[in-house]
Every structure is written in C-alpha cells, then in structure tokens.
C-alpha cells in the first residue's frame, strides 16, 4: 500500500488529532503501526507522549540542569500546616482571617503582631497555583523552550482536613451520600474544603446527570465505527 497524498494527509490529521499509531494504522488500512510511526517521523510529525522519550527528557531536566532560569522553590522546609487556604464564603468559625499574603518581602518583616494574637503562621512559600497551560492533541502538556524546569509539578503542600460539617457544606453532596441515583460528578478537588459531588438526579443508566454525561462521554467511540464525527472537508475516504 503506497503513501498517496491522500493517505499522508489523513495520517497527518489523525496523528495530530492524538490517535495512536495503531489506531491510525487500522483506520488507514493496509499498513502496520510501525509503518505509520515510520512515516510520521519521516514527515517530521513529532512530539507525542512517548514513554521512552518522556523518561529521557525528565532525567535530562532533572540531573544537570544548567538552567539560567531561577528555580528557587526550595522544597518547602518544615511542613507548616497551613490553615485551609480557601477563603470560605462564610466567616470561619475561629481563627483570624488570613488573607493571601501580599507580595511583600517577608524577610524584612519584624513581625509586628498585634498583642494577643497567636504566633504568625507563615503561609507556605509555594502558593498552590494551578498553572494554566495548553494541552496538545496527544494529551501532552506543551511547554515553552525555556520552561523545561520542574517537569513534575510538585504537589503543593496541602493538609488534608477531615470534612467538617459547616454551614456552606450543608447542601453539598458528600462522598457518603452517593448512591446510584444521584450524579457522582466531582466538583472541586478531594481534600479541599468544599469538595463535593454534583448530586443531581442521574441520567438513567449512567453515573452522572445529563449535563455531566455530556461532559464525560464525549470521548472516542469503539474504534470500528468511528467514521462519521470528523467532518472531512475533502470528500472523505474512499468507500471500500
């Protein structure tokens, strides 16, 4: 089977779409996944989460690291149990409200604490900041050339607190309230104060409500009959 322009075009598209080489091979027909990979490389289609290369790059970025980029975030020393950072919509039961520390130099702070206040709890130096980045078609994270530092986003130090019954959680669906009639779509993140589940009535036969089903089940179809979705602008594949 020869690589016609048409087939090459299709390969390009599917590859960039994130299809695996074997899927593409199956889709094209008449070629092995090796053929697909080989061709893809010859076409200079690259970047894909390869298990091998990923490890190599990780090791490379970790070991020498002659990176001019200041990557100071020294491991947050003692795990100072930071109070739950989430600014509760309701006034927290006790404790002085700890606002997000203004970007002031913390070193030259003589810490003039109002009398009677508890010792100042230094917030963790690394503010958990969910970095927004684009995800490539293969599901890998894009990174800019100078950004290869810290390939593994260090888990922000986070103290897990037992879910405490509070006013603002009263109407939220907790883990313990899950059953097969209510939507199990998680909202927020486990460990966070207001983590809960959707809790709406499920779309019968599914673990989620209708809305979340539409989010959860838009993924790929079983492989074989996966022809229709991509609106092929150029006539589409030949009917065999």
Partner DNA sequence: CCCTGATTCGC
Partner DNA sequence: GCGAATCAGG
| Cβ proximity to DNA, 52 vs 91, nearer residue | 52
Task: Tell me the site size for DNA, rule CB under 7 A.
Answer: 28
| Cβ proximity to DNA, 21 vs 183, nearer residue | 21
Q: How far is CA 105 from the centre of its chain?
A: 31
Window contacting DNA (CB under 7 A); options: 17-25, 85-93, 145-153, 200-208: 17-25
| Cβ proximity to DNA, 48 vs 196, nearer residue | 48
Strand pairing report for 196-197 and 186-187: antiparallel
Site for DNA in 104-163 (CB under 7 A): none
**CA–CA dist 192, 168 (Å, integer):** 13
Q: Which of 31, 84, 198, 209 binds DNA (CB under 7 A)?
A: 31
| Cβ proximity to DNA, 24 vs 84, nearer residue | 24
**CA–CA dist 173, 117 (Å, integer):** 36
Q: Is residue 220 near DNA by the rule CB under 7 A?
A: no
**CA–CA dist 18, 148 (Å, integer):** 22
**CA–CA dist 16, 10 (Å, integer):** 10
List the x/- string, 33-52, binding to DNA by CB under 7 A: xxx-xxxxxx---xxxxxxx
Q: Which of 17, 53, 167, 220 binds DNA (CB under 7 A)?
A: 53
Q: Is residue 10 near DNA by the rule CB under 7 A?
A: no
| Cβ proximity to DNA, 42 vs 189, nearer residue | 42
User: 77-116 burial, b for 16+ CB within 10 Å, e for fewer?
Assistant: eeeeebebbeebeeeeeeeeeeeeeeeeeeeeeeeeeeee
């Amino acid at each position: 089977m020869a690589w016609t322009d048409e087939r090459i075009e299709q390969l390009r598209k599917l590859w960039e779409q994130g299809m695996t080489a074997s899927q593409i091979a199956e889709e094209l027909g008449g070629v092995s996944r090796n053929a697909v990979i080989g061709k893809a490389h010859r076409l200079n289609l690259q970047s894909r989460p390869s298990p091998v290369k990923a490890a190599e790059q990780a090791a490379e970025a970790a070991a020498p690291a002659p990176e001019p980029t200041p990557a100071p975030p020294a491991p947050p020393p003692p795990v100072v149990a930071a109070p739950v950072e989430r600014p509760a919509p309701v006034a927290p039961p006790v404790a002085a409200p700890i606002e997000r520390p203004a970007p002031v130099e913390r070193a030259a702070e003589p810490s003039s604490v109002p009398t009677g206040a508890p010792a100042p709890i230094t917030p963790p130096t690394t503010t958990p900041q969910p970095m927004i980045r684009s995800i490539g078609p293969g599901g890998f994270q894009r990174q800019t050339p100078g950004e290869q530092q810290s390939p593994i986003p260090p888990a922000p130090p986070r103290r897990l607190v037992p879910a405490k019954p509070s006013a603002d959680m009263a109407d939220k669906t907790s883990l313990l309230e899950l059953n097969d009639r209510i939507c199990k779509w998680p909202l927020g993140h486990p460990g966070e104060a207001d983590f809960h589940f959707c809790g709406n009535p499920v779309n019968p036969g599914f673990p989620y409500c209708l809305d979340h089903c539409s989010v959860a089940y838009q993924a790929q179809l079983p492989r074989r009959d996966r022809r229709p979705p991509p609106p092929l602008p150029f006539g589409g594949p030949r009917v065999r």
